[in-house]
Amino acid sequence: MTGHRRRTPAANRRRPLLIGAGAAVAAGAALGVGLWASGDSDTPSGQRPSGGKEAVAPEATPTPSPDRTYALSRTPRTIPAVREHTPARGPGWRPAKGGRVVVDDKELADEGRLLAGELGLSYAGSGAARAGDVRLGLTDEDANPESYTLTVKDGRVRITGTAEAGVFYGTRTLKQQVRSGGTASEGVVRDSPAKPQRAFMLDIARKHFTAGWIEDRIREMGDLKYNQFGLHFSDDQGFRIASDSHPEIVSKVHLSKAEVRRIIDLAASRHITVVPEIDSPGHLGAVLAAHPELQLRNTQGVATKGAIDISKPASAELLDDLLNEYSGLFPGRFWHLGADEYQALTVANPAASFPQLAAAATRKYGPGAGIEDLATGWLNDRTAVVRGHDRVPRAWNDGFFPGGVVKADKSLQVAYWTGKEIGAREPVEYLREGREVINYNDEFLYYVLGQPNAFVYPTGQRIYEQWTPLVLRGTAPVSREYGDQILGASFAVWCDLSGSQTQDQVAAGVRMPLRAMVQKLWDPRAPQLSWTEFKDLAAKLG
């Protein structure tokens, strides 16, 4: 992530916005903006380009004349929908030959160049704006750094925000307006997200995805105003990123560090933070294949799938080597530590099956401690490692245990995914403790390849019509009083049966769910469009 970019605070609270007016202006011919190829959610997508193609600009924006009357403009139609629009009378704005993008602040050069290339304009750097231009600028007002104001007036566009992220989101709104109708509506858009974390997570451990495919998803996410991309790259089936500290654990098919850096740099240019996950103490099968001496075994010597023996100091040393190494590769603010499904805790009598764990727990935490305390202590120790790199840690909800001697570190955010696992608690229990929660509800937001274990591919329509960020478990929402503690949500692709779909089929399958979810994260109101209208708009936007 480039050092000059200002980032959104994780717990930043959102100010309410007013309700805007009706549907978008559709004046002028649609512009062939270079967006990704797309398909409906029911059909595989075709090949997706690595970058946008320069557009051919249409004729110039008509100049307002005293003897011409314009209808009052309508609210732009975008995904996610803008939250406030003040209409005005005028022709609006459309890209034209000779049009430019100018910036008030050099920090916005990347945003300016990107927008210019997408709309077929020239990038002019700093300087005065003239008719037909788009001007980007930063303001000093005390506002959400992801908020922006987009003004269309006098044949020009001005996009401002208190930080680069907000200005970037304003350029996405402008791009979508041009894509959908050719013309940006006269008037003023004031826009801001309801939730500060809007994420897509990809399991590359069980299934290899090419760097190019991932980069195309990053571009897609950027245009939809997502700001996090989770990368689950270690599991029982594979360890998919090159390692210098432990090359012996890396799967034959993997991403190079150079490829990962390109992904991170592209994500940063779209104001997306890449959130890595090395799951432990379970889901470590690929690591343990190269280190069988650290495999957890019961009293009969039988290995426990994916589980590392957390009673051994060498186990902690290995994981900390990896956390320290990849903290240097991933510069983002957040880190996912996993902590789910430690199989030692799923047997009838863990202490009898794994006496070495029970003994280690009492040695470290006293006579009243058990294996759950040892697992919590393991999580806390890994938390300390990533916090030493100035990261905000999170863990799956079933890695937090009630009672016990050892409590999970207060800084840990809860990634709430399920109530089906052994020991999983109701979401309200975490919220009552004052914890911050990210919604990964497996009922709506889990796309599990092959649909094993009663999973069903989620649909955009179901998310759009039935889910909100308050619906953390199953289909029932928690009380609105906890709304501020729910930081956002993540849609997750899991590759349990990796051969069930191709990369392109995955891209097509997640297309409408991603659009539906971000609509609910950006705007807390009930959607103004029906599902059919929303789906039609998505097809028009590309």
HSE-CB of 404 using CA atoms within 13 angstroms: 18
Burial class (CB in 10 A: 0-12, 13-18, 19+), 86: middle
The three-state DSSP-derived secondary structure of 168-208 is HHHHHHHHHHHHHHCCECCEEEEECCCCCEEEEEEECCCCC
Over the Cα atoms of the chain, what is R_g? Answer: 25
Which parts of 97-168 are beta strand (E)? 100-103, 122-125, 134-138, 148-153, 156-161
- To the query of whether residue 341 is one of the catalytic residues in this protein, the response is yes
Q: Identity (one letter) of the amino acid at 469? A: P
- Cα–Cα dist 467/205, whole Å: 28
C-alpha separations of 120 from 97, 116, 123, 178, 287 in Å: 8, 6, 10, 11, 48
Q: Closest by alpha carbon to 31, among 130, 177, 132?
A: 177
Q: Which residues contact 471 (CB under 8 A, 6 or more apart)?
A: 439, 441, 443, 444, 477
- Cα–Cα dist 392/435, whole Å: 13
Catalytic residue among 341, 372, 436, 443: 341
Cβ distance 489 to 481 under 8 Å? Answer: no
C-alpha separations of 36 from 5, 243, 408, 436, 516 in Å: 25, 32, 42, 34, 18
Return the structure tokens found at 183.
Answer: 């013309």
Which parts of 419-505 are beta strand (E)? 437-439, 446-448, 486-494
Return the structure tokens found at 113.
Answer: 């160049």
Residue whose entry in the numeric block shows the structure tokens 């894509």: 179
Burial class (CB in 10 A: 0-12, 13-18, 19+), 474: middle
Question: DSSP 3-state assignment of 374?
Answer: helix
Burial class (CB in 10 A: 0-12, 13-18, 19+), 141: exposed
Return the structure tokens found at 265.
Answer: 């740099």
Q: Closest by alpha carbon to 253, among 286, 220, 218?
A: 286
Peptide bond into 64 cis (omega under 30): no
- Cα–Cα dist 405/377, whole Å: 10
The catalytic residue positions are: 341
